[in-house]
Structure 1
Amino acid sequence: MELTEYIIIALKIIVGLSILNVWLLQAHKPTKWRGGNNVESIIKEFEAYGLSKKFCYVVGFLKISFACLLIASVKFEYLTLIGSIGLMTLLLGSVIMHFKIKDALYKSFPAALFILMNVVIIYFSL
């Protein structure tokens, strides 16, 4: 394998595990990256965006699913574009919501970084 292939595998694992961490392990914990002011969970963050709890569950299901597909794509390459484009689309929505409620710019950084990582994954997967 070439160095590029190792880098893409690393990016897939980093992005996938990071999304799973946020949505499964950190979902009910406050972090400085959450949208809104002093929100303590993802559900409260979605409320700060003016979005419903049901919508939060739909987005969570999709993000977890796409993250799992991205991780699985290390072995099953044909899953790469589905997982990566799906996550990139949802992460773009995250950045837009941060701007919508006029969050500090740094709160958009993780989503923007993961968008960039997905762009690299997609580019080298085509």
Structure 2
Amino acid sequence: MDYIDYIIIALKLIVGLSILNVWLIQPTKPTKWRGGNAQTIVEEFKVYGLSKNFCYVIGFLKVSLALILLASILFDFLNLIGSIGLSILLLGSIIMHIKVKDPLYKSFPAFLFIILNLIIIFFTI
């Protein structure tokens, strides 16, 4: 393996584990990144004008795609599914922050993870 392969693995771990952390470990904990004044993920979706059920659908998709991205460390054919899928959902996050006129810093994690996913895509195609 080349050094770039190790960097890509590290990026996949950072993105995948971070998404899992947000959706499985900290969904009910307040963070400075939540939209509006929301304290939980469900409240954040309400701020965006989205339903609790939609929150669960997005959560399922993000967790699934994060797991796919992590699995792509061993199974290369999953690279694009995980990276592109997460990038699309993260773009949706940025759009929602803009919609509710959040300060730009609240979009930073989504923007950073899109950039990391684009790097993964670039070096795995």
TM-score range, shorter-chain basis? over 0.9
Q: Percent of counterpart pairs with the same letter?
A: 67
> Which residue of 1 is the match for residue 85 of structure 2?
86
Question: How big is each residue's C-alpha offset from its partner over 1:74-100, in whole Å with a ceiling of 9 and x where there is no partner?
Answer: 001111100110000000000000000
Question: How big is each residue's C-alpha offset from its partner over 1:42-64, in whole Å with a ceiling of 9 and x where there is no partner?
Answer: 00000000000010000000000
> Which residue of 1 is the match for residue 16 of structure 2?
16
State the 1:40 CA deviation: 1.2
Question: 4+ runs of 1 displaced by more than 4 Å?
Answer: none
Within 1, Cα distance between the matches of 2:98 and 2:26? Answer: 22
Give the length in aligned residue pairs: 125
> Which residue of 1 is the match for residue 34 of structure 2?
34
Q: For residues 39-118 of structure 1, what are the structure 2 equivalents within 5 Å? A: 39-118=38-117
- Normalising by structure 2, we get a TM-score of 0.99
Give the letter for the 2:10 counterpart: A
Within 1, Cα distance between the matches of 2:36 and 2:76? Answer: 37
State the 1:41 CA deviation: 0.5
Within 2, Cα distance between the matches of 1:26 and 1:40? Answer: 10
Within 2, Cα distance between the matches of 1:62 and 1:95? Answer: 17
SS at match of 1:97: helix
Within 2, Cα distance between the matches of 1:82 and 1:6? Answer: 20
Uncovered stretches (5+) of structure 2, i.e. residues with no partner: none
Within 1, Cα distance between the matches of 2:3 and 2:101? Answer: 40
